[in-house]
Chains A and B, each alone.
Chain A
Amino acid sequence: MTSSIFFDISAGAYIAAMIIYVAYLVVKNRTVGILASSMTIFGFVMQTTAFILRWIHSFDFWVKANPESAFVESILRAAPLRNLYESLIFFVWSLICIHLIVEFKYKNRSLGAFVTPVAALALLFIDVSGTAKEIQPLIPALQSNWLLFHVLLSFLGYAAFGVSFGASIAYIVTITESKKELIYSFSSLIIGIFLIILFAMGIDFLSLSADERARLIQSHFLKATFRSSSGGVVAISWIASLAFLFVIWNFSLGLKKVLSSLSLTTNMLDDISYKSIAIGFPLFTIGGLIMGAIWANSAWGKYWTWDPKETWSLITWFVYALYLHARFVGGWRGKRVAMLSIIGFVAVIFTYLGVNLVLSGLHAYGSG
């Protein structure tokens, strides 16, 4: 399929951009910075092309299976936002889109070194989770006009939260004086856990046959490491993880010098972190919670059932509502709100992936 070639090119470009952005942090050469941005824009154009191509393919696919379907309806039903793979791809697209806007507005390239890794982690997750990449037929529950708008707005919101997360991490690294500070340990712990889970999933992936890989996310999650039947493997996994967490904690502070030499001021990071939430919060509230509730009501006659997916999106909403109130009314500034932004994004990840990996609910179809 032609669209997958463009996806692969864009994934390659994003990973290259991540490396160049990090190199830019180190060498601080303007040409390197422009190269990083160009690489990101190139990847973005490729991915947009791939997205449109996939939409067209899936339009043909839908029309073939549903010849009686009207043109506009077919376009809506064919939106490539139907399963885990497609939504992750769209998440990466939104993240890069919002990142490019921020980079353009603030005329500062250093944030790329913190946002592109989030995109790269998502791309890596796509591969190690072994999720199906083919265009799949749309199951009846998803055949609704709400699908496109609900998923589109939710993921733009998630992506904005992702940018805020990147900025907050950079903020904490910049402002930390000593490794012993709680907030620094907290953020290195979060980053470490993300990486460890991805790494462990990579081991899962390698340990499975091709057939089993397709079901990794439902039935084999972390079975090769932390949830192994062998006690030795479990113990080694934990020891290795703790060692890894120590390494992250010990060396992340090195970034501080680099960042402060790049005129990436704490004020700017704080501002980016807030602005992204200011964009993400309305998008997520309207697209995620409100549209989700209206859709649920038209599909099941219940706009709110406290199923895990709904509850976790509400928890996410509480965290960001807390961020906004603490900042505007409670007068919280700096580290404390940066920590809330990080917790918020952890809640986002859990809402999106954790619920499907660990818990179950009405949204179980989202894990296909």
Chain B
Amino acid sequence: MAAQEKKDIFESIWKFFASVKLAIFLLITLALSSIIGTIVEQQAEPARNIALLAKFFGDSAAPTVYNIFAKLGFMDMYGSWWFVSFLVLFSINLIICSIDRFPKTWRLINTPQKPLTESAIRSLPVKKEATFNVSLNKAKDEFLNVLRTSRYQVMEANEDNAVQLYTQKGRYARLAVYAVHLSIILIFVGALIGIKYGFKGYLNLPEGQASRVAYLSPDLSIPLGFTIACNWYDTQYYDDSDTPREFQSELVIIEDNREVLKKVVEVNDPLTYRGITFYQSSYGMLPNPTRGYFVLSIMPAGGEEKTLRLQYGDSFEIPETGIKGTIADFSPALTRDRATGALTSYSDQMVNPAIAINFEMPDEKKFTGWILRRYPDTGFLPGGHKVTFLDYWGVEYTGLQVARDPGVWLIYLASIIMAVSLYICFFISHKKLWVYISQNKKTVRISIAGSTNRNRISFENEIERILSHISRAIEGRHPQNK
């Protein structure tokens, strides 16, 4: 008795997890609860969400509501114990219901198709009938011919004055739905592998500097196992606009003091080395930008171009001209204030960088000129000499996402499985077909009928097509439909 009871309990638990009601409940619950996390900002500063809550609950109640919400895990909802529990339940439901239903599907696939009686054929959901003025064998051969060209493997059963052809196609398409379920489980497994054995970090690397670690949080670093250095960072803009065209940094991998890999990374084009990938994700100015180098190119009229690296206050001379220049000022984004006419910076970032140079001409005339990187023409001096502002190097950092995810290949594999099996699931059907051909004096009567697990209309069309092929082959005209 105890064993029986145990079995009953097991069975009812099994039934509970295999039930479609649980699936429907979980889909609704996951959908509804996911909404919360799209409204409450996730993993944000408390003040931001308190301000949000104040709009709904008033200023005085907001902190209390915040605390309740925080206790419920709403502030990091997708990682909260209850949301994760729903996901676990969802996976269990998916696995158990698949195991529960699989044997039945397997039987459906592997049960051999049998010939039916004529009346059973006529009571199938999709059917057509026709009469032809031709011999039984001729009609049979034409059917075999048409069905085989449509890649049906045809079986035959002979009766008195009648023959029956039967065939099926696409029975393994019934498995596609299990493959879809499997792919979802594989995605969960891939995600778990990524969480357990991978990491998602970041690294802000100034131009000209190197690092052996990435950061998971400001005070938690993770060793890379090699050194990564940033040669330069640059934002390119569309023509004269402030619309960025590309964010780029040149990264170098160094091992044993040797450069082993160099690559210019861009958004959508990361660098991978030993399983760790570096993604271009942000950029910015360093807090103390005066330490950088101004990269200038100077060219006396008709003379040779020369590149210089200078710091704030440094002076230079354009060879053979006697023109002296001193770097006096820098603006990351130079513009002229419309109201006052004064020069000013409209951004902290190097959107439209410019340097001011105090020039001293050979005749001791002095003036200050702003040279903008975006407009090289601003660097022409009297006499056709030219100073070009190439870069202010060493003042920006490149913001990199650093990730290692050993589970991602599984995610990709699962994605392929899911895409293929979804296609099969919706567009390939398990079709069974019976053709009953009976001799009736000089004519043959044909019943063609079948069943399909989906896409009935296209199956009806297919049967129609088969029949019209046959009639064209036999009589060169349409069949006499009944």
Whole-angstrom CA separation of A220 from B320 in the bound complex: 61
Whole-angstrom CA separation of A282 from B176 in the bound complex: 13
A93 vs chain B, min Cβ distance (A):
23
Given contacts A66-B245, A143-B246, could you give 5 more A-B pairs where the C-beta distance is less than 8 Å? A137-B241, A141-B267, A141-B268, A278-B426, A299-B268
Complex contact A143–B267 (CB within 8 A)? yes
In the complex, what residues of B have CB within 8 A of residue A321's CB? 27
Judged by a CB distance under 8 angstroms, whether B243 is at the interface is yes
Q: A329-B20, A359-B39 are in contact. Are A285 and B247 (CB under 8 A)?
A: no
Whole-angstrom CA separation of A244 from B390 in the bound complex: 63
Judged by a CB distance under 8 angstroms, whether A281 is at the interface is yes
Q: A65-B245, A315-B34 are in contact. Are A282 and B422 (CB under 8 A)?
A: yes
Complex contact B239–A298 (CB within 8 A)? no
Q: A294-B415, A301-B405, A302-B403 are in contact. Are A281 and B426 (CB under 8 A)?
A: yes
A236 vs chain B, min Cβ distance (A):
22
Judged by a CB distance under 8 angstroms, whether B281 is at the interface is yes
Complex contact B268–A298 (CB within 8 A)? yes
Beta-carbon nearest neighbor of A309 in chain B: B38
The digit string for A134-167, where 1 denotes a CB below 8 A from any CB of B, is 0011011101100000000000000000000000
Q: A301-B270, A303-B411 are in contact. Are A325 and B418 (CB under 8 A)?
A: no
Complex contact B415–A137 (CB within 8 A)? no
Judged by a CB distance under 8 angstroms, whether A250 is at the interface is no
Name 10 interchain pairs, CB-CB below 8 A, sorted by A: A66-B245, A137-B241, A139-B243, A140-B268, A285-B418, A286-B418, A290-B415, A299-B268, A303-B411, A322-B31
Q: A285-B422, A322-B27, A325-B27 are in contact. Are A306 and B37 (CB under 8 A)?
A: yes
Judged by a CB distance under 8 angstroms, whether A132 is at the interface is no
Whole-angstrom CA separation of A84 from B239 in the bound complex: 23
Whole-angstrom CA separation of A108 from B3 in the bound complex: 61
Whole-angstrom CA separation of A116 from B21 in the bound complex: 36
Beta-carbon nearest neighbor of B78 in chain A: A306
The digit string for B26-55, where 1 denotes a CB below 8 A from any CB of A, is 011011001101110010000000000000
Complex contact A140–B42 (CB within 8 A)? no
Whole-angstrom CA separation of A321 from B35 in the bound complex: 17
Complex contact B279–A300 (CB within 8 A)? yes
B144 vs chain A, min Cβ distance (A):
31
In A291-329, which residues have CB < 8 Å from any B CB?
Answer: 293-294, 297-304, 306, 308, 311-312, 314-315, 318-319, 321-322, 325-326, 329
The digit string for A319-343, where 1 denotes a CB below 8 A from any CB of B, is 1011001100110000000000000
In the complex, what residues of A have CB within 8 A of residue B295's CB? none
Q: Which 10 A-B pairs have the closest CB atoms?
A: A301-B403, A318-B31, A308-B38, A140-B267, A282-B422, A144-B268, A137-B238, A322-B27, A329-B20, A290-B415
In the complex, what residues of A have CB within 8 A of residue B408's CB? 297, 303
Complex contact B277–A301 (CB within 8 A)? yes
In the complex, what residues of A have CB within 8 A of residue B24's CB? 322, 325-326, 330
Q: Size class of B's contact patch? A: 35 or more
Interface majority SS (helix, strand, loop, mixed), chain B: helix
B135 vs chain A, min Cβ distance (A):
38
Q: A290-B419, A306-B78, A330-B24 are in contact. Are A140 and B244 (CB under 8 A)?
A: yes
Judged by a CB distance under 8 angstroms, whether A355 is at the interface is yes
In B94-153, which residues have CB < 8 Å from any A CB?
Answer: none
| Selected contact of B20 from candidates A279, A306, A325, CB within 8 Å | A325
Whole-angstrom CA separation of A322 from B270 in the bound complex: 38
Whole-angstrom CA separation of A299 from B282 in the bound complex: 12
In the complex, what residues of B have CB within 8 A of residue A299's CB? 267-268, 279
| Selected contact of B411 from candidates A141, A293, A315, A347, CB within 8 Å | A293
Judged by a CB distance under 8 angstroms, whether B200 is at the interface is yes
Judged by a CB distance under 8 angstroms, whether B23 is at the interface is yes
In the complex, what residues of A have CB within 8 A of residue B427's CB? 282
In the complex, what residues of A have CB within 8 A of residue B37's CB? 306, 311
| Selected contact of A301 from candidates B38, B200, B411, B419, CB within 8 Å | B200
B455 vs chain A, min Cβ distance (A):
9
The digit string for B281-300, where 1 denotes a CB below 8 A from any CB of A, is 10000000000000000000
In B1-30, which residues have CB < 8 Å from any A CB?
Answer: 20-21, 23-24, 27-28, 30
Complex contact A355–B38 (CB within 8 A)? yes
Complex contact A294–B412 (CB within 8 A)? yes
Whole-angstrom CA separation of A210 from B268 in the bound complex: 35
In the complex, what residues of A have CB within 8 A of residue B78's CB? 306
Beta-carbon nearest neighbor of A283 in chain B: B422
| Selected contact of B244 from candidates A139, A303, A312, CB within 8 Å | A139
Beta-carbon nearest neighbor of B266 in chain A: A140
B79 vs chain A, min Cβ distance (A):
9
Judged by a CB distance under 8 angstroms, whether B226 is at the interface is no
Complex contact B415–A359 (CB within 8 A)? no
Judged by a CB distance under 8 angstroms, whether B191 is at the interface is yes
Beta-carbon nearest neighbor of A315 in chain B: B31
B52 vs chain A, min Cβ distance (A):
11
